[in-house]
Amino acid sequence: MKNTFGQSVAVTIFGESHGNMIGAVLDGLASGIEVDEDFIASQMELRKSVGSLSTARREADKVKIVSGVFNGRTTGTPITFIIENADTRSKDYGELAYKARPAHADYTAQLKYHGFQDFRGGGHFSGRITAGLVASGAVAIKALRRKGIFIGTHILSCGGVKDRSFNNIREDIDFLNGLDFAVLDGNSAEKMKEKIENAKADGDSVGGRLETVVTGFPSGIGEPWFDTIEGLLAHILFSIPAVKGVEFGAGFEVADMYGSTANDAYFSDNGKVCTKTNNCGGILGGITNGMPIIFRTAVKPTPSIYKEQNTIDLKTGEETTLQIKGRHDPAIIHRARVVVDSVTALVLCDQLALRFGTDWLAKD
């Protein structure tokens, strides 16, 4: 099982949804980088289940750092984050030991691990495991901000309701980072919440799209072909449970454009090379061009719904039905937003360390 991502700055995840604890190990960061535990806690709050829009499972998500930090700074050795699981109800999953939940990884997990996997709450496949990524990502986000690099994500659409796109990027990022339901237009936010509530009342769920922007990132970072910035970001974004699509810049819409429209014309802004449009999403030939990096991720509806569904009994091979019990999110897109920010930061820190050396993130 592959649980480590990154070359110079690498993150390793561990644990299961209903095990004693989950967590992550962040390795490769230079010594002397600030580790703000209050900021880590605030990022964890953004991932938590809150109110009627999320699962009733309530975890404290208190992050315990057991290595790699001394006097509030990285030591240069692996940083280990531990997060205890406390609010588990494993009995809710007793019936699911052999009944594969549609759109979950139950069937494929059975094929790969031959029944030895921990199926409770999705085990190691659960979105619960992203908590360790958020803890690690919080350190990376802070390190990037010190270098003038900022990341922001909003819910572009949910349940068919759309938000406006980024306008004044830095102001929008600051605005979003103070919200637990990250939508730029307040009216759209209320309509999205209503859609989620209606789906919940019907025993169903909804999905949506997230839009992410990175500003202040240096040009010339990335590799052609196999280690493109798009490829690395897409790799880690597709590792987030429920993400089913990723597009950069104009994305799939570019297929319907003429070249004269799709091409980003260059101009000089006081000696800095810029483009008048950003259909490439800040990346050309796999390498950043200094314009904002823009991408969108498609998040599927939560597969755990309360409607009766058809399935297969993995033990007998016979067709059967199931009706999922327990506590589940009617939508996860608002919680996934901080996960996207976190994994984006981890990829960018890794690429910067490869380009400029591991000490670059620690320098003033």
More confidently predicted of 192 and 103: 192
- The whole-number pLDDT of residue 322 equals 87
Average pLDDT, whole number, for the chain?
Answer: 92
Of 163 and 120, the one with more pLDDT: 163
Across-strand partners of 11? 5, 26
Evaluate whether 39 touches 137 at the Cβ level (below 8 Å): no
The pLDDT assigned to 86 comes to 81
Q: Cβ neighbours of residue 206 under 8 Å, at least 6 residues apart?
A: 158, 159, 195, 196, 199, 301, 330, 331, 333
Instruction: Examine the pLDDT at 166 and tell me if it is beyond 60.
Output: yes
Residue 117: the pLDDT is: 87
- The pLDDT of residue 305 is 87
pLDDT in tens, 282-335: 999 999 999 999 999 999 998 888 889 999 998 899 999 988 877 678 999 999
Structure tokens at 225: 């072909």
- Looking at residue 16, its pLDDT comes to 92
Query: For residue 207, what pLDDT is reported?
Result: 96
Q: What angle do CA 247, 253, 257 make, to 5 degrees?
A: 135
Count Cα neighbours of 105 within 13 Å in the Cβ-side half-sphere.
Answer: 18
Q: Out of 15-29, 239-253, 312-326, which region has the weakest mean confidence (pLDDT)? A: 312-326
Q: Residue 89 above 80 pLDDT?
A: no
Q: How many other CB atoms sit within 10 Å of the CB of residue 328?
A: 21
pLDDT of 91 above 70: no
pLDDT bracket for residue 12 (50, 70, 90): very high
pLDDT tens column, 247-292: 999 999 999 999 999 999 999 999 999 999 999 999 999 999 999 9
DSSP structure string for 199-242 = HHHTT----EEEEEEEESPPSS-B-SGGG-HHHHHHHHHTTSTT
Return the HEC string of 155-166: EEEECCEECCCC
What are the pLDDT digits (tens) for 41-67?
999 999 987 777 876 556 788 999 999
CATH for 4-358 is 3.60.150.10
Provide the pLDDT for residue 55: 65
Query: Domain ranges in the chain?
Result: 4-358
- How open is the CA angle 250-256-259, to the nearest 5 degrees? 80
Q: Look at residue 294 in the predicted model and tell me its pLDDT.
A: 98
Residue 187 has pLDDT above 60, yes or no: yes
123-152 pLDDT, tens per residue? 888 888 999 999 999 999 999 999 999 999
Q: Return the pLDDT at 362.
A: 94
pLDDT band, very low/low/confident/very high, at 116 (cuts 50, 70, 90): confident
Q: What was the pLDDT predicted at 202?
A: 93
The mean pLDDT of 171-183, rounded to a whole number, is 94
Determine the pLDDT at residue 324.
81
User: What pLDDT sits at residue 52?
Assistant: 72
CB 75 within 8 A of CB 68: yes
| Angle formed by the axes of helices 37-47 and 333-356, nearest 10° | 140
Looking at residue 87, its pLDDT comes to 63
